Structure 1
Amino acid sequence: MSTLWTVILFTVSGNSLVIIAIAHFKQLHTPTNYLTLSLAVTDFLLGGFVMPPSVIRTVEKCWYFGDFFYRYYAICHPLTYKSKFTIVFTKKMIFICWSLAAIYGFGMIFTGYNTKANEDIFDGNNFCVGGCLIIQSEISIIVSSLISFYIPGSVMVMIYLKIYLVAMKQAKSLRQTNEAHRNEVSKKRETKAAKTLAIVVGAFLFCWSPIFLCYVITPFIKFSVPLLLLQFLFWFSYTNSTFNPFIYAFFYKWFRKALKLIILGQIFKSNSCSVELFSE
C-alpha cells in the first residue's frame, strides 16, 4: 500500500511543479506549453482524484462509497503555423477536447450505453455488497475502445511518423543549403521538442495499451480475467501520469531551471515571472 501512495505522491507533486512552472513564467506561455499544461492538469487530477479511491479499492477489494497537431504544423508547415496556431486558438482547442471528453464520459452513463451486469456474471470473488459494477456489451466495449484509445492512438502514431520523416528531410536540406546558424538552432529546438513529445506519446501508448487490450478481450471470455491482474493493469496505466514530469525534467532544460527556482522559493520574488529560462 505504501508503494501505491508513493506513486500518488510523485504523480501529484511532479505534475503540480509542471503546472506552476508553465503558469508562472511568462516565457513559457506558448501554444506548445499550454498543451503540456493541459496534459499536466489531466495527470494531476488523475493522481489526486482517481488514484486515492483506487488505492482503497485495491486494498479493500471493494468500493464502499458507491499537443500534438501543433507540433505537426510546426515541423511540416513552418511558414504558416505561427499565424494559425495562436495562444487563443490553442486555448479553444483545449477547451473543446476537455468538453468532448466530459460529454462522452457522462453520455456513456446517462444514455444507458453502459449496461449494468447481472450478479450471476460475477463469481463470489468478484462480487461484493455495496459494489457498483458496471459493464458493457461486446459491441459497446469495442466502439468505446476504438473512440477513446485505438483510433486516437493510431492517429498520433501516423502524425509522428510524418513529423519524423519531414524533420529528417528538413535536417538534410539544412545541411545542404548551409543556412544561418540561428535558423539551425531554431530547427534543432523544434526537432528536439517533437522527439520529446513523441516519447510522451510512446509512454502513453506503452502504459495504456495493456489495459485496453484486456478491456476488449474481457467480455468475450465472460469477464473471467482475474481481479488481481485487472488491478495491476489499471495501476500500470496510471503510472503514465507519474512518468511525464520525469520526461520533461530529463529533456527540457527550461523545466529543470524552473524547478530549481520553484523549490528555492524564487517565484515569490517580484518580476520572477519574467526570468529568462532559455538563456544558454
Structure 2
Amino acid sequence: MTSSSSAQRNICGDLTPPATVQLCYENVNGSCVKAPYSPGPRLLLYLLFGSGAALAVLGNLLVMTSILHFKQLHSPANLLIASLACSDFLMGTMVMPFSMVRSVESCWYFGDSYCKFHSSFDGSFCYCSIFHLSFISIDRYVAVTDPLVYPTRFTVSVAGKCIAFSWLFAVIFSFSLLYTGVNEAGLEDLVSALSCVGGCQIAVNQSWVLIGFLLFFIPALVMITVYTKIFLIAKQQARKIESLSNRTAKSSDSYKDRVARRERKAATTLGVAVIAFLISWLPYYIDSIIDAFLGFITPTYVYEILVWIAYYNSALNPLIYAFFYPWFRKAIKLIVTGQVFIQNSSAMKLFQ
C-alpha cells in the first residue's frame, strides 16, 4: 500500500528547500514546501512515469477485451486473469497518474478528500492483485496435478467466489483502515508535525504496517510453495512421458499428455507473472517494515524508486502474456485492426 507511508517522507516537507523557498500554494498559510526538479529531469520523469501508467491502462485493457470478447477464452482461469487485469487497469487510471504528479511536483494538488481515496485505492488494488495471483496459483496446481478432472473442480462459480473475495476483502480492509483512523493511533504528534496544505499525508503505525506486510507475505508464501510443487510435478510428468517405451501406451496417453503440457505451459507463464509481482513489491514492503520500526530512515529518492518499481508491475503482466501466449498476440492483432467489429468475431478461433 504505497501511499500509506507517504506521510513519513512527505516530499513537501523532508527535503531541504532551496535558497528561495517555493511553496505548493503561494500566499496560503501552512503550505507545504515545494522541491521542484529542473526542467530536464522533470520532463524525463513525466515521460517515464506517464509511459508506465499508459502501458498499464492500454495493456490491461487489451487483456480484458480479449478475454471478455472471444468466446474461446471464456474459462474460469481466464476470468481470474481478466479480473487481475482489471485491478492493474484501475491502478493505471486511478492511482499512477496522481502519484506521478505528486512525485514530480513534490506536492499534492487533488484535495484532502481524494488523498484518502487515492491511498485506499492504492492499497486495495495491490492486495487485490496478490489475492488473485494466489488463487491463480492454486488453480494452476489443480490443473497440472489432475488436468482431466480439473474442469469439474475449478468451475465458473468457484472462480467467481475467488474474484469476489479478492475484491471485497482488499477494498474493505484498505478503506476501513484509513477511514476509521486506526492507522494513526500513537502517531498523532507525527501527523500533526507533517500536516501542511499540499501534502497527502497518510501515516500507518507499526501494528498496521505489520498486518499489511503479513497480508502480502502469507499469500506470497502460498504462491512460492504451490509453484515449487507445480514445477516438481511437471518435472516428474516429463520424465514419465520420456520413459514410455511402448508405442501403444504412448498412443493411449497422448491426449492426457497434450493437456498436461498445455497446463504446464500456462503454469510457467503465470509463474513468471508471480515472480515479477514479488520482485516488484517485496522491496517496498521490506522497506515499510524497516521504516516503521527504525524511525522512517529511508531517503525520499529511495522511497520514490521503490514505489514506482511496484507501480510498474501493473504494466508488466500484459507484456508477459504477449511474450508467452500466442493467442494473446493474435487477439491484440484482431482488436487493433478492428476485426473484432466484424459480425460473429467473438467466435473466432485463437488457438486449436
User: TM-score band, normalised by the shorter chain?
Assistant: over 0.9
Question: Which residue type is aligned with residue 205 of structure 2?
Answer: S
Q: TM-score, normalised by structure 2?
A: 0.74
Structure 2 residue aligned with 1:13: 58
Distance in 2, matches of 1:59 and 1:223, equals 21
- SS at 2:239's partner residue? helix
How big is the shift at 1:17?
0.6
> Does residue 101 of the first structure (1) align with residue 182 of the second (2)?
no
How big is the shift at 1:211?
0.5
Structure 1 residue aligned with 2:126: none
Distance in 2, matches of 1:120 and 1:82, equals 53
- Equivalenced residue count is 276
Gaps of 5+ in 2: 1-45, 113-135
Structure 1 residue aligned with 2:250: 179
Greater Rg by CA: 2
Cα distance change on mapping 1:174 and 1:135 into 2, 3 Å: same
- SS at 1:134's partner residue? coil
How big is the shift at 1:109?
2.1
Question: Which residue type is aligned with residue 51 of structure 2?
Answer: T
Question: Which residue type is aligned with residue 237 of structure 2?
Answer: Q
Cα distance change on mapping 1:34 and 1:120 into 2, 3 Å: closer
* Aligned positions of 1:119-138 closer than 5 A: 120=190, 128-138=196-206
Q: Residue 62 of structure 1: which of 85, 107, 116 is its match? A: 107
Structure 2 residue aligned with 1:92: 161
How big is the shift at 1:8?
1.1
The answer to whether the 8 Å contact 1:248/1:255 transfers is yes
Structure 2 residue aligned with 1:257: 330
Distance in 1, matches of 2:210 and 2:57, equals 32
Cα distance change on mapping 1:253 and 1:19 into 2, 3 Å: same
Cα distance change on mapping 1:122 and 1:6 into 2, 3 Å: farther
Identity %: 41
The answer to whether the 8 Å contact 2:191/2:203 transfers is no
Distance in 2, matches of 1:78 and 1:185, equals 10
The answer to whether the 8 Å contact 1:31/1:70 transfers is no
What do residues 35-71 of structure 1 show as CA deviations (whole Å, max 9, x unaligned)?
A: 1101110110000111011011102212132112111
- SS at 2:107's partner residue? coil
Q: Please give the root-mean-square deviation of Cα atoms over the aligned residues, in Å.
A: 1.8
Moved more, 12-21 or 79-88: 79-88
Q: Residue 344 of structure 2: which of 259, 271, 275 is its match? A: 271
How big is the shift at 1:107?
2.1
What do residues 176-199 of structure 1 show as CA deviations (whole Å, max 9, x unaligned)?
A: 345333332222111110100100
How big is the shift at 1:76?
1.7
Question: Which residue type is aligned with residue 219 of structure 1?
Answer: A
Structure 1 residue aligned with 2:318: 245
- SS at 1:208's partner residue? helix
Distance in 1, matches of 2:104 and 2:341, equals 40
What do residues 201-253 of structure 1 show as CA deviations (whole Å, max 9, x unaligned)?
A: 00000000111011111122212322222111111101111111110000001
Question: Which residue type is aligned with residue 250 of structure 2?
Answer: E
How big is the shift at 1:119?
5.4
What do residues 133-192 of structure 1 show as CA deviations (whole Å, max 9, x unaligned)?
A: 222222221122112x11111110001011111111122222334533333222211111
> Does residue 50 of the first structure (1) align with residue 123 of the second (2)?
no
Structure 1 residue aligned with 2:302: 229
Distance in 1, matches of 2:258 and 2:192, equals 59
Gaps of 5+ in 1: none
Structure 2 residue aligned with 1:214: 287
Distance in 1, matches of 2:256 and 2:150, equals 16
Distance in 1, matches of 2:322 and 2:310, equals 20
Moved more, 171-180 or 259-268: 171-180
Distance in 2, matches of 1:100 and 1:119, equals 31
Moved more, 159-168 or 73-82: 73-82
Moved more, 14-23 or 84-93: 84-93
- SS at 1:20's partner residue? helix
Question: Which residue type is aligned with residue 201 of structure 2?
Answer: L
How big is the shift at 1:122?
8.9
